Amino acid sequence: MKVVDAIAEILKREGVTTLFGYPVNPLFEGAAKAGIKPVVVRQERIGVHMADAMSRMTSGQQIGVFCMQHGPGAENTLGAIAQAFSESVPILVIPGGYDRRLAHVEPNFSAPKSMGTYVKSVEQLTSGADIAAVFRRAFTQLRNGRGGPCVVEIPRDVWNEDVPADFDYTPVVATRYGPDPKAVADAAKLLASARKPVIYAGQGVHYARAWPQLRALAELLAAPVCTSLEGKSAFPENHPLALGSGGAAMPRAVREFLDEADVIFGVGCSFSETAFGVKMPKGKAIVHATLDPKHLNKDIEARIGLIGDAALTLEALAAALTDHIPSPRDSKPVAAAIASVREPWLREWQGKLTSDEVPMTPYRVIHDLMKTVDVANSVITHDAGSPRDQLSPFWVSTTPLSYIGWGKTTQLGYGLGLAMGAKLVHPEKLCINVWGDAAIGFVGMDFETAARYRIPILSILFNNFSMACELDIMPESTERYRATDISGNYAELARALGCHGERITMVEDIIPAIERGIELTRQGKPVLLEFITSLEKAQSRMTPRV
């Protein structure tokens, strides 16, 4: 057996069904012979994003895998791998490499030298005899602990080496670990005595599939729950105790309840300080439950640390709380307090959400989209910039993994690959990406990938012919040289690439266009709906403009 065939066999035994990538990489042929479907994209970054979505949507149970050519192909993936690292997504990247004798000669690109700072592990396969050990190490990193990309580079002169006659590979074990029992008891005592506890849930709840445990704890404590962008949909946002999700923009209740809390319990989160996260108020008692001890006390000071899997942590904490709270507390007063903040805030935004102005406001499109789709049976993601901040506060996620939230490095165009990858995992669901005219400029050609593989996503594009986020910081450049102006007819582009494209300019046409789009996705057609919108910049504090 050759190295290429052995790698394909390892992937198959590890449950990999799809290989994303861009040629030339010998693994495409090896994987196809092993019954693994190749998905060839138009640009490497999108393929990594699709693999990223596969891992996210299965809570890491099915690892997304991407392969590419040595040299320029590997170089083109750097941004997407960095994005997955910032989001703690477990993906396996298998770049080709230069021949072993040239692998470390400048200017040849070397994955081990170049990717080491933003991956969980990186290794070069130097001999067919080592193949089982190298991939066992990679998959062990992928299936255990906090997620992140793992890279195995295969030099060009290794692919066709023979592997030992006794080659065998057993899928790696996935383990979980839980927190210190004393710390759990201390956390239970603190939370039980808190006057105004708030739960802050991150994406670790998704990877642990700890949604029932999170809800049970919230109802036991009668504690309000908010999520990070990455954790959005971990707690049903139509629940009376839901505050919504945070980010650069957030519902007013998120900020007010965090600011008024005496104890904040963060679970499955890193509490990373980022422009696209929720700033924690000072002077609060923080209980930090996280999978990775490196995150403890990283950006905020924790009074109690609970290191371990989110499900195990929540179960242990619930058990310990029975000594203090024998039955669920009455949540009606807390729910009423949340409603007293949420309802006036929503009323203030009704002017934007239901506006009849033309060009239309993006908030009206989002409002009508949520009214039209089956939210519980949809998966939606935003893109970087204004679409993220306009969508996330108002989209009410009701089922787990129905919203793919992200921030931190915030690359434009990330949402397209996420939506396509989500659709491959859940062909029965409507998968939506919401983005702007800047984002499509980065990755728009990969709509052809959606058409070629019949990946029928619904793409909602806001086109205001401008880089609206930059207007305030580039006034002279805009006034004198129109540096923030951009243009294009993206509906025509979608049609040219084999998809359905439609440009919508009038408010009364929003819902009919969405309904047509949904029906076409059911028929297997990718759809891009281009809405001509106003220069509406998202408000970071989510207060209405005056």
Is it the case that residue 373 has pLDDT exceeding 90? yes
DSSP state of 466: B
Residue 507 confidence (pLDDT)? 98
- CA dist 255 and 545 (Å) reads 18
Which domains, from first to last, does the chain contain? 3-155 (3.40.50.970), 181-337 (3.40.50.1220), 354-532 (3.40.50.970)
Percent of the chain with pLDDT over 90: 90
Residue 288 parent element (H or E): strand 285-290
Residue 537 confidence (pLDDT)? 63
- CA dist 207 and 231 (Å) reads 10
Cβ atoms of 235 and 215 within 8 Å: the answer is yes
Residue 538 confidence (pLDDT)? 61
pLDDT digit string (tens) for 280-308? Answer: 999 999 999 999 999 999 999 999 999 99
- CA dist 469 and 385 (Å) reads 7
pLDDT averaged over every residue in the chain: 95
- CA dist 247 and 363 (Å) reads 17
Residue 498 confidence (pLDDT)? 96
Write phi, then psi, for 397 (nearest 5 degrees): -80, 135
Residue 387 confidence (pLDDT)? 94
Is it the case that residue 370 has pLDDT exceeding 90? yes
Is it the case that residue 543 has pLDDT exceeding 50? no
Is residue 258 classed as helix, strand or coil in its secondary structure?
A: helix
- CA dist 468 and 464 (Å) reads 8
Residue 67 confidence (pLDDT)? 98
Residue 439 confidence (pLDDT)? 93
pLDDT band for 472, please (50, 70, 90 cuts). confident
Mean pLDDT of 380-389: 94
Residue 130 structure tokens: 């080592």
Is it the case that residue 271 has pLDDT exceeding 70? yes
pLDDT band for 150, please (50, 70, 90 cuts). very high
- CA dist 416 and 435 (Å) reads 8
- CA dist 344 and 291 (Å) reads 37
- CA dist 43 and 212 (Å) reads 39
CA angle at 53 for the pair 216 and 175, rounded to the nearest 5°: 55
Name the residue among 432, 427, 414, 416 with its Cα closest to residue 517: 432
pLDDT band for 545, please (50, 70, 90 cuts). very low
pLDDT band for 9, please (50, 70, 90 cuts). very high
pLDDT band for 482, please (50, 70, 90 cuts). confident
With 0-12 / 13-18 / 19 or more C-beta atoms within 10 angstroms meaning exposed / middle / buried, residue 323 is exposed
Is it the case that residue 60 has pLDDT exceeding 70? yes
Residue 408 confidence (pLDDT)? 86
C-alpha pair distances (Å), 241 with each of 11, 217, 222, 223: 42, 11, 7, 7
Residue at 283: amino acid letter: G
pLDDT band for 468, please (50, 70, 90 cuts). confident
Q: What is this structure's pTM?
A: 0.95
User: Is the preceding peptide bond at 107 cis, omega within 30 degrees of 0?
Assistant: yes
Sign of the Cα pseudo-torsion (357, 363, 365, 369, in order): negative
Residue 473 confidence (pLDDT)? 82
C-alpha pair distances (Å), 337 with each of 224, 260, 331, 467: 10, 12, 10, 39
Is it the case that residue 335 has pLDDT exceeding 60? yes
With 0-12 / 13-18 / 19 or more C-beta atoms within 10 angstroms meaning exposed / middle / buried, residue 122 is buried
DSSP state of 299: S
pLDDT band for 409, please (50, 70, 90 cuts). confident
Percent of the chain with pLDDT over 70: 98
Residue 163 confidence (pLDDT)? 96
CA angle at 401 for the pair 398 and 402, rounded to the nearest 5°: 50
Mean pLDDT of 239-243: 98
Name the residue among 507, 504, 536, 529 with its Cα closest to residue 349: 536
Residue 5 structure tokens: 């065939």
Mean pLDDT of 27-54: 97
Is it the case that residue 64 has pLDDT exceeding 80? yes
- The terminus-to-terminus CA distance of the chain in angstroms comes to 70
Cβ atoms of 302 and 290 within 8 Å: the answer is no
Residue 404 structure tokens: 């793919």
pLDDT band for 541, please (50, 70, 90 cuts). very low
Strands laid side by side in the 37-40 sheet: 37-40, 18-22, 64-68, 91-97, 150-155, 121-124
Residues in the chain: 546
**403 - beta bridge partners?**
380
Is it the case that residue 477 has pLDDT exceeding 60? yes
Is it the case that residue 471 has pLDDT exceeding 80? no
Residue 546 confidence (pLDDT)? 25
Is it the case that residue 540 has pLDDT exceeding 60? no
